[in-house]
């Protein structure tokens, strides 16, 4: 109820001023609602582990310092433009279900530009600092290559403006060399030199875009760089050509002043039946064979690791041991499904293992944790994008805290150092420093008793990890 005297006052001032005021207020509210794609969703607050609010962080506090660095600097979260903005949530049996009220589903530049604004509102509200994109996610493919390049330039201008306004940054850029039918036989490994040239041109523009946006990395995921049958494939020639493409990228980077890192993203299959970059070891072998190790690191994705019948932990350790763990595509697969389901990571054991390896190598520098993940086809509403990212961020915040505590505690690493301590002195250190050969080792073994060995204590160590989870 309005207090009587107020009403009287308003009446004496004339009813028209009240109408004016109300109209003004309605217009302001309407405008605010129209300019926001997620008007009902606030900037996601941190509310602590007791909170029951699904749109709040329970563990991720961006400025909490852990081991001398804020959570946000440790984790370097990125959102993937292709999933967040472009994924319609189709599956092989059904059309897209995703509801994106701001998107008119056209290939117009206006639509592309509108999406960028929605995306930056999303980054703002989730508190995610970085993003990643493919050229064709952000800008529509035109009728000719020149038109596509022009479209990309227009959208990049807009992205640059939005980055300037918000302080958000590009983690990495890449070119989509797998969707268009021209790439059915591959891009850098195509049997057609004309397609190869087209792919090179596309990489060149995507690198220009990455530099224009101050991107910290550039990714090569070989979506079609593999084969469906060896009957029609010259593997040696394809691999040689792919290596040439990567060398050209390195040369061009020097020309345009790209100081970021190149990443290769391993994946064993899907869409091709065998992809050349099948896992971390295969990528490292390729990089070494073609003298690319100085310029490339790996971008390791959980779902790709498990498709290769490895654990994510295995792939991280393989990459890190070679000094080549550059970045992470933070997602997970489904335990019963044999394809790239790109689910959001919520498993604390997984995020703990990932953060253990990242902390052990001294942290991510030019890489980050990119949510290469999408909500399920049944989770089709805009708010589901928020739930998904909040869950992933909280899971990594916990993984970070747990991994840090395990390292601080020291028992796990202490156990491993002790397990290898026979290499620190005596005959072990002589082997490692190259002082002895077979003859000396035989002499040593003959003059000593049967070697004694100790338990690996796997169960004890598993229990130790659970103390922290
Ligand atoms: C597909 C890949 C892709 C890369 C970028 O499986 O994960 O999304 O991350 O091209
Ligand atoms: Ni990926
Ligand atoms: Ni993937």
Which domain does 58 fall in, by range?
41-409
Looking at the structure, tell me whether residues 244 and 333 fall in a common domain: yes
Q: Indicate which residue of 59, 134, 304, 389 is catalytic.
A: 134
Choose among 297, 395, 332, 379: nearest CA to 75. Answer: 395
Domain boundary residue, one of 358, 389, 409: 409
**367 and 441 share a domain?**
no
Query: Are both 3 and 145 inside the same structural domain?
Result: no
Nearest ligand (C-alpha, residue 305): 3
Same domain for 145 and 84: yes
Distance 405 CA to ligand 1 centre (A): 32
Can 134 be counted among the known catalytic residues?
A: yes
The one-digit pLDDT tens for each residue of the chain (469 residues) are: 333 344 344 444 555 666 666 666 655 555 554 589 999 999 999 999 999 999 999 999 999 999 999 999 999 999 999 999 999 999 999 999 999 999 999 999 999 999 999 999 999 999 999 999 999 999 999 999 999 999 999 999 999 999 999 999 999 999 999 999 999 999 999 999 999 999 999 999 999 999 999 999 999 999 999 999 999 999 999 999 999 999 999 999 999 999 999 999 999 999 999 999 999 999 999 999 999 999 999 999 999 999 999 999 999 999 999 999 999 999 999 999 999 999 999 999 999 999 999 999 999 999 999 999 999 999 999 999 999 999 999 999 999 999 999 999 999 999 999 999 999 999 999 999 999 999 999 999 999 999 999 999 999 999 999 999 9
Give how many domains the chain has, as a whole number: 3
Q: Tell me: do 358 and 458 sit in the same domain.
A: no
Q: Which atom of ligand 1 is nearest to the CA of 134?
A: 10
**Ligand 1 atom closest to Cα of 270?**
6
Q: Are 427 and 405 part of one and the same domain? A: no
Angle (CA) 126 129 132, round 5°: 105
Helix ranges, 175-326 (H): 193-212, 235-256, 280-289, 302-307, 312-321
**Location of structure tokens 């991994």:** 403
Residues for the chain: how many in total? 469
Q: Is 137 a catalytic residue?
A: yes
Q: Ligand 3 centre from 233 Cα, in Å?
A: 24
User: In which region does residue 106 sit, left (phi positive, over 0), alpha (psi from -120 to 50) or beta (all else)?
Assistant: beta
Catalytic residue among 129, 135, 137, 342: 137
Whether residue 209 is found in the same domain as residue 223: yes
Residues 166 and 140 in one domain: yes
CATH of the domain at 196: 3.20.20.150
Does residue 13 sit in the same domain as residue 103? no
Work out which ligand 1 atom sits closest to the CA atom of 340. 6
Asked if 420 and 347 sit in the same domain, the reply is: no
Place of tokens 């990459």: 319
Query: How far from 173 is each of 13, 183, 266, 409, 456, CA to CA, in Å?
Result: 60, 19, 16, 38, 43
Atom in ligand 1 nearest the alpha carbon of residue 301 = 7
The three-point CA angle 419-422-427 to 5° equals 160
Which residue CA neighbors atom 8 of ligand 1 most closely? 372
* Residues having CB within 6 Å of any atom of ligand 1: 134, 174, 219, 221, 265, 267, 301, 329, 340, 372
Q: Indicate if 131 and 22 belong to the same structural domain.
A: no
Mutate to test the pocket of ligand 1, among 179, 223, 299 (most ligand atoms within 8 A of CB): 223
Residues 54 and 185 in one domain: yes
Domain end among 359, 383, 409: 409
DSSP 255-275: HHT--SEEEE---SSSSSSEE
Backbone phi, then psi, for 147, in 5-degree steps?
Answer: -65, -40
């Amino acid at each position: 109820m309005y207090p009587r005297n107020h009403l009287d006052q308003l009446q004496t001032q004339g009813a028209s001023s009240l109408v004016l005021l109300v109209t003004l207020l309605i217009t302001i509210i309407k405008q605010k609602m129209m300019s926001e794609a997620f008007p009902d969703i606030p900037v996601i607050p941190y509310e602590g582990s007791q909170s029951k609010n699904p749109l709040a962080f329970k563990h991720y506090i961006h400025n909490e310092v852990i081991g001398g660095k804020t959570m946000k600097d440790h984790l370097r979260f990125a959102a993937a433009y292709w999933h967040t903005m472009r994924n319609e949530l189709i599956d092989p049996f059904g059309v897209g279900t995703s509801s994106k009220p701001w998107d008119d589903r056209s290939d117009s530049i206006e639509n592309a530009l509108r999406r960028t604004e929605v995306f930056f509102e999303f980054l703002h509200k989730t508190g995610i600092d970085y993003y990643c994109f493919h050229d064709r996610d952000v800008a529509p493919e035109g009728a000719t290559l020149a038109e596509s390049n022009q479209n990309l330039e227009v959208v990049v201008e807009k992205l640059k403006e939005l980055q300037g306004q918000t302080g958000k940054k590009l983690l990495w850029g890449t070119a989509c060399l797998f969707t268009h039918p021209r790439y059915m036989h591959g891009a850098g490994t195509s049997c057609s030199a004309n397609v190869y040239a087209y792919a090179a041109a596309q990489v060149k523009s995507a690198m220009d875009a990455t530099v224009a946006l101050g991107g910290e990395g550039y990714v090569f995921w070989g979506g079609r760089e593999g084969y469906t049958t060896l009957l029609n494939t010259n593997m040696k020639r394809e691999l040689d050509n792919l290596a040439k493409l990567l060398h050209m990228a390195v040369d061009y980077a020097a020309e345009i002043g790209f100081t970021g890192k190149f990443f290769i993203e391993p994946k064993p299959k899907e869409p091709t039946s065998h992809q050349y970059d099948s896992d971390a070891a295969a990528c490292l072998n390729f990089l070494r064979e073609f003298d690319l190790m100085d310029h490339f690191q790996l971008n390791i994705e959980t779902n790709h690791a498990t498709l290769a019948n490895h654990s994510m932990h295995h792939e991280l350790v393989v990459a890190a041991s070679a000094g080549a763990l550059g970045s992470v595509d933070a997602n997970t697969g489904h335990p019963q499904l044999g394809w790239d389901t790109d689910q959001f990571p919520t498993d604390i054991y997984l995020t703990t293992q990932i953060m253990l390896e990242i902390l052990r190598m001294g942290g991510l520098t030019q890489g980050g944790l990119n949510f290469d993940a999408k909500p399920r086809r049944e989770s089709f509403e805009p708010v589901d994008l928020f739930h998904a990212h909040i869950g992933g961020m909280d899971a990594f915040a916990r993984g970070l805290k747990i991994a840090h505590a395990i390292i601080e505690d020291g028992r796990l690493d202490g156990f491993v150092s002790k397990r290898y301590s026979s290499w620190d002195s005596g005959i072990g250190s002589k082997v490692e420093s190259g002082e002895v050969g077979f003859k000396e080792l035989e002499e040593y073994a003959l003059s000593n008793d049967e070697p004694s060995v100790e338990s690996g204590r796997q169960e004890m160590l598993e229990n130790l990890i659970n103390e922290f989870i």
